[in-house]
Amino acid sequence: MSGTEAPAVHFENVGMRYGMGPEVLSDVSFEIAPRSFQFLTGPSGAGKTTLLRLILLSVRPTRGLVSVFGEEVSGISNEALTGLRRRMGVVFQDFRLLDHLTTYENVALPLRVQGRSETNYRAEVVELLRWVGLGERMHVLPPLLSGGEKQRAAIARALIARPELLLADEPTGNVDPTLARRLLRLFMELNKLGTSVLIATHDFGLMDLIDARRLVLGDGRLRIEE
Ligand SMILES: Nc1ncnc2c1ncn2[C@@H]1O[C@H](COP(=O)(O)OP(=O)(O)OP(=O)(O)O)[C@@H](O)[C@H]1O
């Protein structure tokens, strides 16, 4: 790879407020390098989800500059925005599984969107579902899954298309510590295959397991602990 490869994410003096509310983020500057692994942490309400929404381009900064995969996103067309989003895998805090599709179909969705045929992807989806411990639950609709099972289905869906950038909002909040460690291993394996990973978490036990960079939010500011 060339040394000039664009960072997955670049923020420069980003400020963000919702409507007329107070500024949630102030002068936030950082980069996520290609193939890097980091945690995003800070107290409840510090703006972790807001920062993920900015990267996902689902909210716009009030000031400053946001670039994703080398593209500055202000004024970007909807088509280009969809193209950038497809390169990301996201684990939302509230899972966002589609209730009318089975667990298997939810996880297969990103591959279907890519136009791949089921014969081509079925084995891959089943293998990942087994890996996250949902092999026996793949034909179940999400409303019948437990909180931890929904979380694992959401993680599998985010990973299945091997995204260039994985964003995960509290991805171990609903699972026991043993499974949390396995999921962390899964994120690290994905990272070794070339995906940049950003995990928002309060879980110090999880962060202490590995020596990864930490982006720490507090009072609207971002501090980086290498
Ligand atoms: N859609 C919204 N409209 C107005 N204010 C919002 C909205 N979303 C978040 N906020 C406010 O922005 C601030 C940061 O919220 P955010 O959800 O980004 O924090 P967080 O660090 O992810 O919190 P938690 O760890 O509890 O999920 C909070 O004060 C929150 O009330």
- Helices 147-159 and 177-192, interaxial angle, to 10°? 0
DSSP-based three-state secondary structure for 162: coil
DSSP H or E run through 50: helix 48-55
Q: pLDDT band for position 179 (50/70/90)?
A: confident
Choice from 23, 50, 59 to test ligand 1 binding pocket (greatest atom count within 8 A of CB): 50
> Residue 196: is its pLDDT beyond 70?
yes
Q: Does residue 178 come out as left (phi exceeding 0), alpha (psi in the -120 to 50 range) or beta?
A: alpha
Q: What percent of the chain clears pLDDT 90, i.e. is strictly above it?
A: 83
pLDDT at 2 exceeding the cut of 60:
no
- Evaluate if residue 174 carries a pLDDT over 90: no
Q: Which residues contact 12 (CB under 8 A, 6 or more apart)?
A: 29, 64, 65
CA of 24 to the centre of ligand 1 (A): 8
Q: Would you say residue 3 has pLDDT above 80?
A: no
| Helical H segments across 60-176, by residue range | 78-85, 103-113, 118-131, 147-159
Is the confidence at residue 101, as pLDDT, over 60? yes
Where does ligand 1 bind, in terms of residues with CB under 6 Å?
18, 21, 24, 42, 44-50
Confidence class of residue 154 from pLDDT cuts 50, 70 and 90? very high
Would you say residue 132 has pLDDT above 80?
yes
The CATH number corresponding to 9-225 among 3.40.50.300, 3.30.70.20, 3.20.10.10, 3.80.10.10 equals: 3.40.50.300
For the chain, which residues make up each domain, given as ranges? 9-225
* Ligand 1 atom index nearest CA of 50: 18
